[in-house]
Chain A
Amino acid sequence: MLERQKMPVQEAKKRASNFDEVALGFTQEQAIEEAKRCLQCKKPSCMTGCPVEVKIPAFLKYVAEGDFDSAIKEIKIDNALPAVCGRVCPQETQCEQVCVLGKKGASVSIGRLERFVSDHERKKGVQVPEKAKPSGKKVAVVGSGPAGLTAAADLSKMGHSVTIFEALHEAGGVLIYGIPEFRLPKEIVRAEVEYVKKLGVTVLLDHVIGKIETADELLSEFDAVFLGTGAGLPVFMNIDGENLNGVYSANEFLTRVNLMKSYKFPEYDTPIKKGKRVVVVGGGNVAMDSARCALRLGASDVTIVYRRGEDEMPARAEEIEHAKEEGIIFRLLTNPVRIIGDGKNWVTHVECINMHLCEPDESGRCRPAATPGTEHKIEADVVVIAIGTSPNPLVPRTTKGLEITKHGTIVAKENGETTKKGVYAGGDAITGSATVISAMGAGKKAARAIDEYIRGK
């Protein structure tokens, strides 16, 4: 059996002090070799692992033949943002987990090949597909994250006139404000947004729905509304000391670094506290990203504090591996109990307690419990809380008849239909923090349902 190709990366020591992309991408030869490993299964199990069902063997066959143009066309039938997904999908729990080759050895690097062909296309100039003839119907999309962009792109291709309303000054949602440059270069997100605009979608930035206009008002101007507002409300731990200077929510920390480019301060005006000793609380992608940003800002020690074990960490395997290579310290089975200040409101330590795993909870993961008497302090001048987010209540609060759950997520059917007529929703806004590709899948389904709804109107 052919060996799985190694992804060329920037060397760990060097990349720990810059924001350039870590993974450099396959060469043409590597891509072809890797694609040749695919067995072209009659019943390709890999496709069942992809939430948008990219025709994986078909595109891999083109790659193996060196026909990259056809490969990208094949992918784009199902996935409007392949350059993003190829980089950030948790492939090891999706498509690659169920690839038959994985059973005996290493699965095909589906994500990396997806990335390769989309990068190839971007270098050449992106092709805009044909659109259906204008329907005369108008759809408003709130939020420009993966869910909103996908719904907008699909609805536009179906012939509808689509306007995206985005609260921030740049489109892309978490792809722009959350995921750092070294993992997903912003140039790529911008190219994907440009593609959506080329499809005829109007993007209005700086428009906070619920404030400048409510969803109800949008409904009087548009035939339907799609809510792709994400899960951007930071959750704190409600422990002592969380409002000390130097304690950040991951959202604030990452927004300052990525959206506002504070890693380039003072060339860019937005400041950030560059800690020497940084503690990040959490075990997901958000925690990995925060820790690795802190390192790149110049910290000497960055510690991830996580209350479960490594196997339970929800972060992508590759990110955990990269973080370790870069020298991030992992304190597993450890949980903060309070944050300690210097008396002048600046953080100095995080007090933690050791945890042990008991029987699995309803999520299937082991529920951790504190071990009394194991309290200890970790020195810190910056602390980042990355324990999760919930949906922003701005839109639900200002929309009559839009039901939400007790977790703040919008109630919606499988096809995105909410409790309010003409209003659809998808992505993190209905599921809570999930993945890029699942948000896209939701955007796609909702686009179909909206199309049906407005054509029948």
Chain B
Amino acid sequence: MSFEILDKQELVPTIYLMNIAAPRIARKAQPGQFIMLRIDENGERIPLTIADFDRKKGTITMIFQAVGKTTMQLASLGEGDEILDFIGPLGNPAHIEKVGTVILIGGGVGVAPVFPQARAFREAGNKIISIIGARSANLLLWEERMRAVSDELFITTDDGTKGHHGFVTDIVKKLLEEGTKVDRVVAIGPPVMMRAVAGVTKPFNLKTIVSLNSIMVDGTGMCGACRVLVGNETKFACVDGPEFDAHLVDFTLLMNRLAIYQPEEKMAFEKYKCEREGCKC
């Protein structure tokens, strides 16, 4: 099979948006689900969240950060190019319901998967408080889109170039300590951020959902590469998740497992750079 890339934009440095023609997947996609793709015959299968979908046009939108070989290679493709395999929708849909007030937290590229959930929670009649963060102002994603679906929007940057100087957790903490009535928190971003958010909401006994980005191979529950420990039970993130109760997740294990292939990832990345830019070695 192959799937056409309809367009590509660089949203902020290193973060890209891509629309893919995949009508059958678009028909079924729900917020919170993901796809797996393999660019070409030699490629790795990598998971990316469905950031948006259009059932009428038959398209799936993904937003990804170029962090290594596969995402760099994906970023080098553009309109009219094809991806060999595009599999989905995988994982369970986000649990959208009317609960009252929901805080949605997106860190870095995590803003992208948070957006369709914010929209869905809003449509379900909830009050939406969004907190989006990035390392620096120029890396901040989808501020306007998020504003459009939020009752309140907070921005944080690690270096203080925009919004609050600090982390997304500072805002969550402040809101909760001020006594803001909150019924649900959804946090998607780097594992360290999700762990920190879990730490802040735990004393308030506030239900917090995170989306785990463990390493995956098939995405259908067949290999167990994606196993995570939730409430001391082994779960497969691809079929039991990717969303879990943040207060039950063993984030240390998640982070340790994400580092399994660091030397190999570095090697693949350097080989790829060499091939593209001409080798100096």
A contact set with B: CB distance below 8 Å: 167-169, 204-208, 211-213, 232-234, 236, 242-243, 245-246, 248-249, 251-252, 255-256, 260-261, 265-271, 273, 344-345, 392-394
Contact = CB atoms under 8 A, between A and B. Distances in A.
Nearest to A270: B44
A269 B268 contact: yes
Nearest to A235: B224
Contacts of B45: 169, 260, 270
Interface string B235-269: 00001000000000000010011011100110110
A252 B224 contact: yes
Given A208-B87, A255-B218, A260-B217, A345 B268 contact: no
A386 to B, nearest CB: 12
A251 B224 contact: yes
A272 to B, nearest CB: 8
B53 interface: no
A245 B259 contact: yes
B87 A249 contact: no
Contacts of A208: 87-88, 90, 220
Contacts of B174: none
A265 B89 contact: no
Contacts of A246: 260
Contact of A269 (B43, B86, B90, B221): B43
B44 A269 contact: yes
B96 interface: no
A394 B256 contact: no
Contact of B224 (A236, A268, A345, A393): A236
Given A242-B234, A269-B42, A212 B223 contact: no
B43 A392 contact: no
A202 to B, nearest CB: 12
Given A208-B220, A211-B89, A269 B256 contact: no
Name the interface size band of chain B. 35 or more
Contacts of B25: 212
A234 B217 CA distance: 13
Nearest to B262: A271
B222 A255 contact: yes
B24 interface: yes
A271 B268 CA distance: 9
12 contacts: A169-B45, A205-B1, A208-B88, A212-B28, A212-B89, A232-B220, A236-B234, A248-B224, A252-B224, A265-B264, A270-B45, A394-B221
Nearest to B3: A206
Contacts of A206: 1, 85-87
The 3 closest A-B pairs by CB, nearest first: A271-B264, A345-B256, A252-B223
B70 A234 contact: no
Nearest to A267: B42
Given A206-B1, A260-B45, A265-B264, A255 B253 contact: no
A243 B234 contact: yes
Contacts of B268: 265-266, 269, 271
Contact of A392 (B90, B222, B271): B222
A169 B87 CA distance: 9
B229 interface: yes
Interface string B80-117: 00001111111000000000000000000000000000
Nearest to B223: A252
Contacts of A392: 220-222
Contacts of B220: 167-168, 208, 232, 392, 394
A235 B24 CA distance: 32
Given A266-B267, A345-B253, A243 B229 contact: yes
A6 to B, nearest CB: 38
Nearest to A397: B239
A269 B224 contact: no
A48 to B, nearest CB: 35
Interface in B13-40: 24-25, 28, 38
A211 B88 contact: yes
Interface in B61-80: 69-70
Nearest to B233: A238
A393 B239 CA distance: 10
A162 to B, nearest CB: 18
A411 to B, nearest CB: 21
B269 to A, nearest CB: 10
A251 B42 contact: no
A245 B257 contact: yes
A233 B226 CA distance: 13
A169 B260 contact: no
B225 interface: yes
B30 to A, nearest CB: 10
Contacts of A271: 261, 264-265, 268
Interface string B207-233: 000000000011011111101010000
A249 B223 contact: yes
Contact of A234 (B90, B222, B265, B271): B222
Given A211-B90, A255-B223, 9 more contacts: A169-B85, A211-B28, A213-B24, A232-B222, A243-B227, A265-B268, A269-B42, A269-B44, A392-B220
Contacts of A249: 223-224
A256 B225 CA distance: 10
B84 A169 contact: yes
Contact of A233 (B24, B222, B234, B259): B222
Contacts of B257: 243, 245, 345
A206 B84 CA distance: 10
Q: Which of B42, B223, B259: most chain A Cβ within 10 A?
A: B223
B62 to A, nearest CB: 16
Q: Which of A243, A245, A261, A393: most chain B Cβ within 10 A?
A: A243
B222 A256 contact: no
Contacts of B260: 245-246, 273
Nearest to B269: A266
A389 to B, nearest CB: 9
B257 to A, nearest CB: 6
Contacts of B88: 208, 211-212
A52 B257 CA distance: 45
Nearest to B70: A269
Contacts of B224: 234, 236, 248-249, 251-252
A251 B222 contact: yes
A435 B25 CA distance: 34
